[in-house]
Structure 1
Amino acid sequence: MGSRGGHAVDDLQSFFARSNRDLSLIRHKLESEFRLAYPDNVNPLKLVSRIKRVEEELSSLREQSRELLSAKQDLMDRTRTTLVGNRGLLQRVQACAGITLNGDGDDSAIDHLVQIIDEWNAQVGLRGDNEKQSSVDEDVNQLLFSAKVQNI
């Protein structure tokens, strides 16, 4: 029985080796025919190879895009928090020193910051402060990903 099993395995190995040789010959023949029939930029084998490479790189690019968008959103959030906090501290210092405070309309830097944040929110599809969001605790980064990255 062991002899029959060993013979069957040898037959299978021989069959797969012949099949592999046959497929290699077919591949080489197709490559040479395509090389003769098509210029390099329209060779079907090269086009398929390029498409496969692009598909492989696409997932990596999606992940990199997610990371960049997340970092940008985090930067926007931290910038807004820091600047608003610093502005509050500055107003308190001014009040303690008896210096006249500038109104919101007079502060062009704050107006510019608000404009930049509004433009960013418009780009990523976030709603403005006037519109109530259904979930206040919703992760802004997840909202950003679903709005932009998944549409790529």
Structure 2
Amino acid sequence: MEHNQAVDGLLTLFSKANRDLSLVHNKLYKEFQQVYPENANPMKLVARLKKIEEEMSSLKDQCRELLAAKQDLIDKARTLLVGNRTMLQRLQASAGALITSDDDDHAYQSFNQVIDEWTAQVKSRTEEDDAEPGSNDINKLLFSAIVQSN
């Protein structure tokens, strides 16, 4: 029975502490409502900051997924375009037609320019310590890119 009385005493103590803390919370909340304008209430600001911190983690993950999807799209487009271009050049050669050079193919040049800009953007966000010197593997660069936390 002593054990149950000790537990009952603890429960009573915790219940009283909970009521006291709720009372203090309510008094502070009412005081802040009176003292501070609606947008400057410290309690609301703290709650808002906590929510933003939680959402930031999710946003970072979504950005990483987006970057990976964009890189996958670029890789597939490059593979498809280069493959089709190679087949076209073979067809031109077998037909005896003039083969279009890289310098004369404006669409191909534009595509390469977009890829070069993407590569430069990813490289600019890569920490020097994480990148292997001389590495041009865009996938390695992509996954070492930093998603800014600010």
Which amino acid in structure 1 is aligned with residue 76 of structure 2?
A: R
Q: Tell me, yes or no, if structure 1 residue 46 matches structure 2 residue 44.
A: yes
Task: Please report the TM-score for the alignment, with normalisation by the length of structure 2.
Answer: 0.88
What is the aligned partner in structure 2 of residue 34 from structure 1? Answer: 32
The two structures, once aligned, show a CA RMSD in angstroms of 1.9
What's the CA shift string for 1:25-53, capped at 9, x where partnerless?
Answer: 00000000000000111110010000000
Structure 2 counterpart of 1:34, one-letter code = F
Cα contact 2:122–2:145 (8 A) shared by 1: yes
Letter in 2 for 1:67: E
Distance across 2 between alignment mates of 1:109 and 1:18: 75
Match of 2:12 in 1: 14
Query: SS at the partner of 2:24?
Result: helix
CA apart distance, 1:146: 2.6
Q: Which runs of 5+ in 2 are unaligned?
A: 127-132
Aligned match of 1:132:
134
Q: Quote how far apart the aligned CAs of 1:65 are.
A: 0.4
Quick one: higher RCO (CA 8 Å, sep 6+), 1 or 2?
Answer: 1
User: Does the aligned pair in 1 maintain the 2:93–2:99 contact within 8 Å?
Assistant: yes
| Aligned twin of 1:75 | 73
Partner of 2:116: 118
Q: What residue is the counterpart of 2:3 in the other structure?
A: 5
Cα drift, residue 139 of structure 1:
7.3
Identity value in percent = 52
- Superimposed CA distance per residue, residues 65-85 of structure 1 (whole angstroms, 9 cap, x where no aligned partner): 000000001111111111011
Question: Cα 1:24–1:75, aligned 2, differ >3 Å: closer, same or farther?
Answer: same
- SS of 2:103's equivalent in the other structure is helix
Letter in 2 for 1:99: A
Q: Which runs of 5+ in 1 are unaligned?
A: none
Q: What amino acid is the match of 2:141?
A: L
For 2:34 and 2:138, locate their aligned partners in 1 and report how far apart those are by CA, in whole Å.
56
Report how many residues are paired.
142
| Cα distance per residue 1:81-136 (max 9 Å; x no partner) | 11011100111111112211111110101111110000000111179xxx832xx7
Aligned partners of 1:139 and 1:20: how far apart in 2?
56
**Is 2:96 aligned against 1:98?**
yes
Match of 2:129 in 1: none
Name the CA distance, whole Å, in 2 between partners of 1:99 and 1:40: 75
